[in-house]
Amino acid sequence: MKPISLFKSATLFVVISLFFLSITNAQTKKLDSTYQLEDVIVTAQKRAELLHNIPLAISSLNAKQIEDFRINQIKEITSIIPNLYASDPGDGRDVTSIRGIATTSYDPATTVYIDGVNQFGLDTYIPALFDVERIEVLRGPQGTLYGRNAMAGVINIISKQPTNTTSGFASYTLGNHGQNRINLSLKTPFIKDKLFFGASILYDARDGFYTNQFNNQSYDKQHGFSGNYFLKYLVNQQWSVLLNVKHRNQRNNGAFPLTFDAANSIADPYVLNQNATTTMMDNTLNSSLSVHYSGHSFDFVSQTAYQNNYRYYTNPIDGDFSPYDAVSIVNNYGKQWNNIKVWTQEFKIASPTSSNNPLKWTAGAYLFSQNAPVKQATRFGADANSIMQVGDSLFSLINTTKTIKQGIAFYGQITYALSKQLNFTAGLRNDYEHLSQTVMGEYQHDPMTAPITTLADTSATLNFSAWSPKLALDYHFNAHTMGYVQYSKGFRTGGLSALGSDPSQPPLVGFLPEHSNNFELGIKNNLLHDRLSLNISVFYTKVNDAQVPTLVLPDAITVTKNVGKLNSKGFELELKAQASKSLYIQYSFGYTNASFESLQLSSQGSAVNLDGKKQIFSPDFTSILAVQYTHQITPGKTSVFVRGEWKYLGATYFDLANNIEQTPYHLINASAGLNIKNISIQGWIRNALNQKYISYAYDFGAVHLGDPSTFGCTLSYRF
């Protein structure tokens, strides 16, 4: 499939838009309007609004769609959302790309919010999804309302909340590869109209997909326990308080199932050979306290949040991904290390949601503090000298890094109705961040007990600030069609390099924030008596001072430099159709052409010109077609359904030199089920053709394959 130029994309956009605009007013009144798509309410702009009226490329998945797609992790929205790709190397930390804006550093390009709380970084967010009411994905920079690290966009996840009605469910999934998933939920009022409680818990486990030839055992077997708990108190008609606590406790017996040589990985899949085996202990806690006020003149929200992640390996983990005792990584030094803590506070005030005033406004302040004490040793084992020629063996290089980040931001956005059809939106945000970092290096030889200091405590500080404006116009041609044009700017924070064993990569070297300018044109249509929704957008994004992270081995630390300029352009299409009372069709398509206008890297003392190379983790095409047919045997009581999904992902590169490539591939998913009153039983299969493909790879050549064919059965009961 040949790339489509931006000009052709814009032309296609205009032609389709004019066509649907021309037929909107000619919709026949003879159509049966008893079945139609539901109105979609989102909070993407930090207020409840109809998705159709927001001048922004937003995708929304409701609870039923999340269940139908069997979305259990954030990365599984790949290609369901156009131009979105997410994957991880097996440790649960997703690299997410939207519209060709991606990074492999711990400061993400896509910000994840769960129940209003910024998940802040790859350390402290929870990727498991359960009991979710809605997923909203905002594509393109969202700097004005969301600030730092929202250059690619925002994933906004909203859990189901307790109400005056007692409700709950229980579900059990059994599948191949030892899959077991138990999900229980209960929501009930303790005191009607006053005090409410909600709890949802999840246990999920599976055997490993990979086999370790070193001990002929399953490598990446894992299980986890998660919980999401709510306590809501209505003080009166205007004031309410909500306490929310989430946790995820994951045990992974093979966090990095990686093999070298992409071709061999496909030819002999899910087989590796590593001598150092361990369990990754991953404990995450997220909690928040929200105070809401809803009045006649304004709405007010205060949200205080605390996040904590303690992640370590019980034994050294393999650092050379081979059967040799060459390199391993040690980080089990007690709870005072590798224990990340984050505090955030947001105050938001906005015009009342129900207001008919032509001026709608939102303003707020956001504060944060992160404390990240990291201690990690690179151990050179008995085979290190013979394989790596390091001049010695049986020694460790211990690197200690203490990082404190603090920041504050102020933002505001207004939307003014210039007429009944034309609206103008403007927003501005200023972020300020202070970073301080201390590093120390030590050497320890076996069986030496006391380490020798090689680099005494050394400190550095940096300050960053950024302005993030937004301008937009939207025009409602009629009640069914809205078009918009917008400009927005995003930024991703800067930082300092960590300490490693490579003397050519000195620590505490600063790198600047990167900034993007995004231009977007879109049209949204609700047609055929709200039985068909069609949204189309065209975008162009330019990134200056692009941060390019490089993984430095054997320490597995990341060194980031501002060495690139990136251009990304493309278009997106989303279609949802209730074709009949029984037939539902959903289709999304995304095209991204993201390449570096300039990219100069250094390697072994010489410059490497990578101008024109494609962005990593950014398929040029993403699409999904989902068709579901539901037959009502007894209206409102008994029904059966059958569903099929076809995913297509285009060429994807995983290194800046574009040497590691996954060629285009297809994935087929299917499911069928029976619903009898409150009981549902479903059979399902994912990756039905058992497609072998690279889902993640490091630039040094280690690759991780996407999941093999999985199938199973889910039984659920709701009340």
CB 329 within 8 Å of CB 314: no
Would you place residue 14 in the very low, low, confident or very high pLDDT band (cuts 50, 70, 90)? Answer: very low
Q: What is the DSSP string of 19-36?
A: HHHHHHTT--TTS--SS-
Backbone angles phi, psi at 4, to 5 degrees: -105, 130
Higher pLDDT, 38 or 375: 375
Is the pLDDT at 30 greater than 70? The verdict is no
User: What is the spatial distance between Cα 130 and Cα 159, in angstroms, rounded to a whole number?
Assistant: 8
pLDDT at 517: 94
CA distances from 655 to 90, 454, 705 (A): 18, 33, 16
Would you place residue 340 in the very low, low, confident or very high pLDDT band (cuts 50, 70, 90)? Answer: very high
Higher pLDDT, 106 or 541: 541
User: What is the spatial distance between Cα 282 and Cα 222, in angstroms, rounded to a whole number?
Assistant: 11
Query: Within its chain, how far is the Cα of 182 from the centroid?
Result: 24
Is the pLDDT at 10 greater than 50? The verdict is no
Query: Within its chain, how far is the Cα of 322 from the centroid?
Result: 31
Would you place residue 502 in the very low, low, confident or very high pLDDT band (cuts 50, 70, 90)? Answer: low
pTM of the shown model: 0.92
Least confident of 299-303, 326-330, 605-609, 625-629: 605-609
In terms of Cβ atoms closer than 10 Å to its own Cβ (0-12, 13-18, 19+), residue 449 is: exposed
- List the one residue out of 195, 204, 198, 49 whose CA is nearest residue 131: 198
- Average pLDDT on 594-616 reads 85
Helix (H, G, I), strand (E, B) or coil at 68: helix
Is the pLDDT at 711 greater than 80? The verdict is yes
User: What is the spatial distance between Cα 205 and Cα 177, in angstroms, rounded to a whole number?
Assistant: 10
Helix (H, G, I), strand (E, B) or coil at 387: helix
pLDDT at 213: 94
Residues in Cβ contact with 606 at an 8 Å cutoff, skipping those fewer than 6 apart: none
**What is the average pLDDT score of the chain?**
90
Would you place residue 555 in the very low, low, confident or very high pLDDT band (cuts 50, 70, 90)? Answer: low
First to last CA, the chain: 48
Would you place residue 260 in the very low, low, confident or very high pLDDT band (cuts 50, 70, 90)? Answer: confident
pLDDT at 43: 84
The ranges assigned to domains in the chain are: 6-718
- Average pLDDT on 298-320 reads 95
Query: Within its chain, how far is the Cα of 90 from the centroid?
Result: 15
pLDDT at 561: 84
Q: What angle do CA 290, 291, 295 make, to 5 degrees?
A: 140
CB 612 within 8 Å of CB 628: no
CA distances from 660 to 83, 555, 597, 637 (A): 20, 22, 20, 52
pLDDT at 28: 44
pLDDT at 501: 65
Least confident of 84-88, 219-223, 616-620, 635-639: 635-639
Q: What is the DSSP string of 599-613?
A: EEEEETTEEEE-TTP
Is the pLDDT at 25 greater than 50? The verdict is no
Q: Which CATH number fits domain 6-718: 3.40.50.1820, 2.40.170.20, 3.40.50.300, 3.20.20.70?
A: 2.40.170.20
pLDDT at 32: 52
